[in-house]
A and B are shown apart, each in its own frame.
Chain A
Amino acid sequence: MKAVCWMGKEDMQVHEVPEPKILNPRDAIVRVTTTCICGSDLHLYDGLVPTLAQGDILGHEFMGEVVETGPGVDSAKLKTGDRVVVPFTIACGGCGPCHEELWSLCDNSNPNAWFVEKLMGHSPSGLFGYTHMMGGYAGGQAQYVRVPFADVGPIKVPESLRDDQVVFLSDIFPTGYMAAENCNIKPGDTVAIWGCGPIGQFAIRSAFMMGAGRVIAIDHVPERLQMAREGGAETLNFDDVDVLEALREITGSKGPDACMDAVGMEASGHGMQYFYDSAKQKLRLVQDRIGVLRQCIQACRKGGTVSVPGVYAGFDDKVPLGAFMNKSLTLKTGQTHMMRYMKPLLERIEKGEIDPSFVISHRLPLTQAPEGYRIFREKEDHCTKVVLDPWAEAAAA
C-alpha cells in the first residue's frame, strides 16, 4: 500500500509499504477513504518534536471503512463494513482516566509509557502517526491503517454525510470545541483567539455556540483572517498592530475574559522576544517558542481563563508566572478527550448547524502529500487545510 513516511526534517516521501496486520485482539484494520494534514504534523515536519524515527508513517486525522476486526473487538460496537471516523487519541476504555472520560490520558494505550514518564512524570495516551514517546503507532496518511482498541474510539457515521463533512471529527473540530469549552465562557464574554488555523476557526465557531458575545481573532495570514471574519469574529493582524494595546483598547482596559493559544510551539512574532525564542529553539535549548502563551497571559483579564489547545513539547523559559499568579488566572489545556465530543458534534453536523468542510483549501491525492506539507507550512496558495485522497490515482487508473 501507499503511505506517507517521515524520512527526516522537511523530507516527506510516499512509499510502497506492507499493509498493516491485526496485532492484538481488539485491533481493526481500516481502509482509509479520506485523511488530512494537521498543523501538529508540521511540528514533526519541521523536526521539532523528538523521538520520531525515519520511516514512520504519519497522519492522525482519517476515516474510512472497517475491513477486518480482531477476535476481541466487540461486534455490537464495530464490525466489518462500518464507515467510521477514527479519533487521533487512542483510548482503552478500561483504565481510570478512561472511566473519568479523560480519554486523551488513557493509562494503557502508550506502549512506550516508561519513556515519556521520564520526561513528563506521567504518560498521556498513545497517538496515531506521532512520535515514539507517544506510542509510535503507524498513522493514517496511508491506504490502510491499524486501529487498536477499535471498539472504543471509532464513531460510525451515516452515509448521508460526505467524508469532508465528518473527517474533521477525528481531531480539529473536537479540539477547537474543547478549547472553547476550556475558556469557561459565560454568555456575553469576550474571547481572544491567537491563531486562525483550522483549530482557531473551529474554536471561533464553538465559542459563539457557547454564548460568547465577541470573539477577537489574531493572525497575520489575510485569508485566514477573512475566514475568521466569516465565522463572526473581529480580527487583529499582528503585523499591523500591537496586539496587547489593541486588545486593551477593544475591551475597555478590562482584557478578554478568556484567551486562547491555538498556535503552540512555533509561534510567529516580532521584536527581541521573538528573536530570542527563535534563536533558542534553533540551538535546541528550548523546544517551544512560547510568544503567544506569554501574550495570552499578559492580555487576559484579572480572574480570567487561558486555554491552550496549541501543542507544546518541552521545558520552556520566560513564562510570565508573576502575571499568571497575581492576576488569579486559570490555565486549561490538554490533548482533546475525543470521545466526549465526537457524538454530540456529529449530531450538530447532521442537523446542519455547521459544515466543517469550510476549512478545506486543498484536495490532493495521497501521492502529492509531500507537496501538501510544503505549501501548508509555507501557507502558500492560500493553504488552510489539506485533505488527501489515498485512492485518487488508483481510481483514475
Chain B
Amino acid sequence: MPLMLLAGALGAYSLVRGKPKLVATAAVGAIGAVAIRRSAEKAATEQGKPDAAVASFVIRCSRERAYELWRDFENLPRFMPHLQSVTRREHQSHWTVAGPLGVHLSWNAEIVEEVENERISWRSLPGSLVTNEGAIEFRPGPHEGSILATLRMQYFLPGGAVGKTFTTMLGRNPEFTVREDLRRFKAFLETGEIPTTAGQTHGPRGIHGHLQNILLRETSNMPKPQRTAKVEPIRRIA
C-alpha cells in the first residue's frame, strides 16, 4: 500500500510538472505495487498457474540436422542469447541464465523423453530456483526438404506477476522469448549464422536516436555478432 501511495504521489507530481517519462515510471510503479499485492495474496492461497509459451516455424533442413543441433544442449546459447551456458551429461543438464540486472540464475534439469529425430523434452529437477519444462518437436514440413519445428516452454517465473511484468519490460516476456529463440534456431540452420546489426556503424544518435533504439529493443534483443563465437558455425545448406 505505501508503494501505491508513493507511485500515486509521483504520478501527480510529474503530471503537474509535465514530465511524461516520470508519469510512465509512476504508472509502472503503481501497476507493480498492485501486482506485488496480488501475487502475495495468491501465493498465500495457491501455487499459481505456470506461464506457457509455444512457437512453430517451418525450417528448410532435415529432421536429422535439426535434432543433431538441439540434442547437444551446449549449442542452445548460440540461438538463445539469454542463456549463459548449458552443459549436458547423459540425462542430466545444468543451465545458467543471465537474469535481469546481471543476476545469474542456474538450475539442473533432466531429460524426460528423447525420440531420435523427433522430439526432446526436459524439466527442471525438484528444488530448482527456476521451475520449468521444455519440449522441442520436429515433424515433416509442408514441402520436401522442410520440417515443422515446435518449441513449448512452461515456467514459473520467480516473482510471479511482478516478475512477468519486469521481464516483459526487458523484452524477455516468455511468449516473445520462445518465438525469437526458435526464429534464431531456424536462421542458424538455414544460413549458418544469426542476422544481426549489433555493433554496426552509425552516425551521432543524440537523445532521440538512443531512445528509439531502446523502444525498438535493439539493445536488449539483438543477437551478438558471431564472429567471436568459440564454436565454428555448422555447415549451411548449399
Determine if chain A interacts with chain B.
Answer: yes
Residue ranges of A at the interface with B (Cβ–Cβ < 8 Å): 3, 5, 7-8, 13, 15, 17-26, 51, 53-57, 70-72, 92-96, 99, 107-115, 126, 132, 135-138, 146, 148-149
Q: Is the beta-carbon distance between B227 and A70 smaller than 8 angstroms? A: yes
B200 & A138 in contact (Cβ 8 Å cutoff): yes
Partner of B199, one of A23, A55, A109, A132: A23
Least CB separation from B141: chain A residue: A96
Flag if B208 contacts A57 (CB, 8 Å). Answer: no
A-B CB contacts (within 8 Å), total count: 143
Question: Does B192 belong to the interface (CB within 8 Å)?
Answer: yes
Check A15/B196 contact, CB under 8 A, given A25-B227, A96-B146. no
A-B contact pairs, 8 of them (CB 8 A): A5-B203, A56-B209, A72-B192, A72-B236, A93-B191, A94-B190, A108-B187, A136-B197
Answer whether A136 and B199 are a contact pair too, CB < 8 Å, given A54-B205, A93-B191: no
B226 on the A face (CB < 8 A) = yes
Is B216's CB under 8 angstroms from A94's CB? no
Please measure, in the bound complex, the distance between the C-alpha atom of A19 and the C-alpha atom of B202, giving whole angstroms.
9
Expressed in whole angstroms, the Cα–Cα distance for A19 and B199 within the complex equals 11
Q: Is the CB of A26 within 8 A of B216?
A: no
In the complex, whether B127 has a CB less than 8 A from a CB of chain A is no
Q: What residues on A are CB-neighbors of B13 within 8 Å?
A: none
B162-198 contact mask (Cβ, 8 Å, vs A): 1 or 0: 0000000000000010011001001100111111111
Say how far B58's CB is from chain A's closest CB, in angstroms: 7
Per CB-CB distance, the 8 closest pairs between chain A and chain B, nearest first, are: A5-B203, A54-B209, A94-B190, A23-B225, A55-B203, A53-B212, A55-B205, A108-B187
Cβ–Cβ < 8 Å partners of A92 in chain B: 187, 190-191, 195
Query: A13-B203, A17-B203, A53-B209 are known contacts. Are A114 and B179 too (CB-CB below 8 A)?
Result: yes
Q: Is the CB of A96 within 8 A of B60?
A: yes
| Cα-based distance from A93 to B15 in the complex (angstroms) | 52
B60 touches A99 (CB 8 A): yes
Does B143 have its Cβ within 8 Å of any Cβ on chain A? yes
Cα-based distance from A94 to B199 in the complex (angstroms): 24
> A8 is contacted by which of B179, B208, B216, B236 (Cβ under 8 Å)?
B208
> Is B24's beta carbon under 8 Å from chain A?
no
**Chain A, Cβ-Cβ closest to B212:** A53
Bound Cα distance A25, B208 (Å): 32
Q: Known contacts A113-B183, A114-B179; is A56 also within 8 Å of B203 by CB?
A: yes
CB distance from B206 to the nearest CB of A (A): 5
B196 close to A23 (CB less than 8 A): yes
Q: Would you call A26 and B192 a contact (CB within 8 A)?
A: yes
Q: Which residue of B lies closest to A126 (CB)?
A: B195
CB neighbours of B237 from chain A (8 A): 94
Residues of chain B in range 123-172 having any CB-CB distance to chain A below 8 Å: 143, 146
Which of chain B's residues has its CB closest to A145's CB? B201
In the complex, chain B residues 192-238 whose Cβ is within 8 Å of any chain A Cβ: 192-206, 208-209, 212-213, 216, 218, 221-223, 225-227, 233, 236-237
Q: Are B191 and A18 in contact (CB under 8 A)?
A: no
CA distance A35 to B15 in the complex (A): 48
Query: How distant is B217 from chain A, measured CB to nearest CB, in Å?
Result: 8
Residues on A with C-beta less than 8 A from B179 are: 114
Task: Determine how close the nearest CB of chain B comes to the CB of A339; give it in whole angstroms.
Answer: 15
Among candidates B198, B212, B223, B236, residue contacting A94 with C-beta atoms closer than 8 Å? B236
B202/A94 in contact, CB under 8 A: no
Partner of A95, one of B190, B200, B225: B190
Closest to B142 in A: A96
Contact A54 B60 (CB under 8 A): no
Contact B60 A95 (CB under 8 A): yes
**Which of B60, B187, B192, B201 contacts A25, CB < 8 Å?**
B192
- The reply to whether A136 and B218 form a contact with Cβ atoms under 8 Å apart is yes
Residues of chain B within 8 A of A72, CB atoms compared: 192-193, 233, 236
B176: chain A residues within 8 A (beta carbon): 114
- A25 adjacent to B200 (CB under 8 Å): no
Q: Is the CB of B227 within 8 A of A132?
A: no
In the complex, A221→B208 CA distance in Å?
A: 36
Are B202 and A132 in contact (CB-based, < 8 A)? no
In the assembled complex, the Cα of A57 lies from the Cα of B203 at a distance in Å of: 7
* Contact A138–B202 (Cβ < 8 Å): yes
Given contacts A19-B201, A23-B200, contact A51 B225 (CB under 8 A): no
Partner of B200 from A53, A94, A96, A146 at Cβ < 8 Å: A146
Given A26-B192, A92-B190, answer yes or no on A20-B183 (Cβ-Cβ < 8 Å). no
Known: A13-B203, A17-B202, A56-B203. A107 touches B186 (CB 8 A): yes
The residue on A at minimum CB distance from B198 is A23
Note all chain B residues with C-beta closer than 8 A to A70. Answer: 227
How far apart are the CA atoms of A55 and B197 in the complex, in Å? 14
What is the distance, in angstroms, from A390's C-beta to the closest C-beta of chain B? 14
Given A25-B226, A55-B205: 17 more A-B contacts, CB < 8 Å: A5-B202, A17-B203, A18-B201, A21-B199, A21-B200, A21-B201, A23-B197, A23-B225, A23-B227, A26-B191, A26-B192, A57-B202, A70-B227, A72-B193, A111-B194, A114-B180, A146-B201
Q: Which residue of B lies closest to A93 (CB)?
A: B191
- B143 lies within 8 A of A96 (CB): yes
Contacting residues, chain B, for A15 (C-beta < 8 A): 203-204
